[in-house]
């Protein structure tokens, strides 16, 4: 789901992240929805890159949002809010993966690919390519998959990817290069524009996640 499309209409959609966070901390809990709709797709893709499971990634994202809301007063603006949120999601996804004994493993059995929510206008060839690409990304080593998701799929800069993952920029470049080489060998073709369409975060999933998180927030206080 495109970031612009996720933002509620009107003036609120133009509020800077830091201002939104400040208003949520001050008691405007409902405005936390704006933060979620701005970053749902990116953060879902990050969680899925680590967990390789649609439902578990959604659960991890929901829990990460609740953690972010609870500790929002700790956000001091030293990093981008998007990067701060991404680190929370990464940590939650890694925690879940470690709990199920999958740390640093590369599974050989591919999970089902996510179905497109865009409708019949997508022809069979493109759908097949996207499915093959999703499986190829799923098969990447963990570190490469996370880097590739942020850098190539979400199109973050090298600097922001490094900030989100807590690694050096040179490491980002190296991992991205190796990830692309592995994908090329797996697909035996050049990556095309379909890479930006994989693991969609459609309106239904976006609305479901927002509703679930918002239902949990009134029981917590943003300032503890």
DSSP string, 42-94: HHHHHHHHHH--HHHHHHHHHHHHHHHHHTGGG--SSS-HHHHHHHHHHHHHH
CATH of domain 3-219: 1.10.1740.10
Which helix (H) or strand (E) segment is 98 a member of?
Answer: helix 81-99
Q: Between 46 and 109, where is the model more confident?
A: 46
pLDDT at 165 over 70: yes
Burial 97-110 (b: 16+ CB within 10 A, else e): beeeebeeeeeeee
| Res 123: pLDDT | 55
C-beta of residue 110 within 8 angstroms of C-beta of residue 173: no
pLDDT attached to residue 114 = 42
* Higher pLDDT, residue 147 or 195: 147
Give the lowest-confidence range in 1-15, 46-60, 96-110. Answer: 1-15
Average pLDDT score over residue span 28-35: 93
* Contacts for 192 with CB less than 8 Å, ≥ 6 apart: 129
pLDDT for 187 equals 73
Q: Looking at residues 125-154, what average pLDDT do you find?
A: 82
pLDDT at residue 109, as a whole number:
37
Q: How far is CA 55 from CA 45, 47, 52, 123, 219, in A?
A: 12, 10, 9, 26, 24
- Distance CA(171)–CA(5), nearest Å, equals 33
Q: For position 84, what pLDDT does the model report?
A: 93
Residue 132 or residue 145, greater confidence: 145
Per-residue pLDDT at 194 exceeds 50: yes
DSSP 8-state assignment for residue 191: -
What is this structure's pTM? 0.64
Higher pLDDT, 128 or 25: 25
- How confident is the model over 135-140, as a mean pLDDT? 86
- Most confidently modeled of 92-106, 192-206, 207-221? 207-221
Which of 5-9, 133-137, 142-146, 204-208 has the lowest average pLDDT?
A: 5-9
Residue 133: predicted pLDDT: 78
Sign of torsion over alpha carbons 117, 195, 183, 206? negative
Domain residue ranges of the chain, discontinuous segments joined by +:
3-219
pLDDT of residue 19: 92
The pLDDT value given to residue 58: 93
């Amino acid at each position: 789901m495109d970031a612009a499309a996720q933002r509620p209409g009107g003036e609120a959609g133009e509020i800077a992240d830091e201002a939104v966070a400040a208003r949520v901390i001050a008691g405007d809990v409902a405005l936390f929805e704006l933060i979620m709709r701005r970053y749902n797709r990116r953060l879902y893709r990050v969680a899925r890159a680590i967990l390789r499971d649609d439902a578990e990634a959604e659960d991890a994202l929901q829990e990460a949002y609740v953690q972010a809301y609870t500790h929002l007063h700790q956000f001091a603006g030293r990093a981008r809010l998007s990067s701060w949120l991404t680190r929370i999601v990464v940590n939650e996804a890694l925690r879940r993966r470690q709990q199920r004994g999958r740390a640093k493993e590369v599974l050989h059995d591919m999970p089902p690919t996510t179905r497109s929510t865009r409708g019949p206008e997508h022809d069979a060839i493109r759908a097949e390519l996207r499915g093959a690409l999703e499986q190829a990304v799923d098969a990447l080593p963990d570190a490469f998959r996370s880097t590739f998701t942020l850098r190539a799929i979400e199109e973050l800069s090298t600097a922001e990817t490094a900030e989100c993952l807590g690694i050096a920029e040179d490491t980002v470049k190296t991992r991205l290069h190796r990830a692309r080489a592995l994908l090329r060998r797996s697909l035996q073709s050049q990556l095309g524009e379909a890479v930006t369409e994989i693991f969609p975060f459609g309106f239904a999933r976006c609305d479901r996640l927002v509703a679930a998180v918002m239902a949990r927030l009134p029981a917590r206080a943003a300032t503890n």
